[in-house]
Structure 1
């Protein structure tokens, strides 16, 4: 057994799935959970996601071997500051945040001399639903988890975090925090922004009810992630806005090129662009 006591701060989709996966793998003896929504935490207990409820992050982290911070990233500074005083020397802390530079800055400020105990991580897995009701032990199976280890980390701490995510069925990758934030802005953060924007624009029209009534699978597939947790994605977009703005500019340039093809009635140009995009996606799908 890897861990005697695991604390999950934020028992939603990511935190709840982490707990379920560890328990299914027999990797922990006890999971204690906490969160801002009492009803959600109670549901996590009823579903067997967690074994006990802590009043707050401090109570959850006290005596834990492993702490997962899985709250919206804007809450991280307070959480790190609050739990720093109760972390014993052998406790390892990790997270499930979708941005890394801001999380690392918050950890360095909040944890202070205990920063070596924090190993940043980002599971590249999720769903458009949120909360304990959406948690699944299979969420991370076969998916990537990116670790962005710190210079202060010990090999032992990194290995413990790798072991935890591996027990969840994840494939481990490592990269620098800056590279992580740039990469995810392109392939995760921008797509969410675009999905939200399209649904918001359609919903604002006078005939929105009619438009939604006739929307079918293409619209549903494109906009699925617009059902994601608004607070979480607000925090991600603001935290990674420099990289996200760069990606938005690149996308606007691509739309500008497509607009010119449409205005010119350039059927061959459009087909060439569409064929290149389809080939790129078809090449990616088998390895995703």
Structure 2
């Protein structure tokens, strides 16, 4: 079985390492816009061949995995569509699903039935092939979001692959996925970026950052993530994220009023709700 891997960063590189260790594929053909990552993966034997384009990578592939930022997926789908084998399965690892599925429906034509949208919940604030790890997916979730037209056999094969590399499998509708991850992933990243940017723009930013303790570091760890990747995610999931952000702003405005008038009861109630949920 031949895998065409488009994108050899943290997720793609880790998947290739894990699949190699388990013998899931006879051959892995890789492509990445960053030639250094591509050549390093080839030199380490993580991939067997380096393609010069996405179109070349997918020729004769049984499975095509797109492990790139969501903002680039539509163009990749457009480029690979003419070169796909008639039975090839295509899948992705994007953090949003509605926009990716829409792109696949429009770009893949008849091959859309063999497109299996998915999302491994295994990222970190680090990115790039240098951080890839064969054990990254051990005990993590893989969210499968097939639609009505998705071939059931293709779904089973993709879910089996992620199970083989250590994931627990969960199925969601694309809408549920995007709503859930707008709340528990996309909004937290947005808030972490916003807080650090807010302080960084102040005259005494260096002094404040120097005084920051573990709580600040814990809350803002994810602000070290890729700005480009997260800008793509926020735009791709802007409807669900916008709803979450508006709701969050309403809560913050209520807390602002409580602070302004010294209403300890309102503050404590909000904090208690959070504490009980977190525990």
TM-score under structure 1 normalisation?
0.93
CA distance in 1, matches of 2:116, 2:183: 24
2:4 to 1, 4, 7: 7
Aligned to 2:82: 85
CA distance in 2, matches of 1:190, 1:56: 34
Contact 1:118 1:153 in 2 (8 A): yes
Aligned to 1:101: 98
- Secondary structure in structure 2 of the residue aligned to 1:153: coil
Matches within 5 A, 1:98-137: 98-137=95-134
Contact 1:185 1:244 in 2 (8 A): yes
CA distance in 2, matches of 1:247, 1:155: 33
Q: How many residues align?
A: 279
Aligned to 1:224: 221
Aligned to 2:159: 162
**CA shift at 1:263, angstroms?**
2.2
- Secondary structure in structure 1 of the residue aligned to 2:15: helix
Range that drifts further, 260-269 or 155-164: 260-269
- Secondary structure in structure 2 of the residue aligned to 1:63: coil
Aligned to 2:252: 255
Deviations 1:70-122 (A, max 9, x none): 11112111111111122112211110011111111111111111111110001
Aligned to 1:243: 240
CA distance in 1, matches of 2:273, 2:102: 40
CA distance in 1, matches of 2:264, 2:34: 53
- Secondary structure in structure 2 of the residue aligned to 1:145: strand
**CA shift at 1:170, angstroms?**
0.8
CA distance in 1, matches of 2:126, 2:9: 10
Aligned to 1:140: 137
CA distance in 2, matches of 1:153, 1:112: 13
Are positions 1:55 and 2:29 aligned together? no
Matches within 5 A, 1:31-46: 31-46=28-43
- Secondary structure in structure 1 of the residue aligned to 2:4: strand
Aligned to 1:186: 183
Runs of 4+ in 1 over 4 A off after TM superposition: none
Range that drifts further, 196-205 or 261-270: 261-270
**CA shift at 1:227, angstroms?**
1.1
Structure 1 runs not aligned, ≥5 long: 283-288
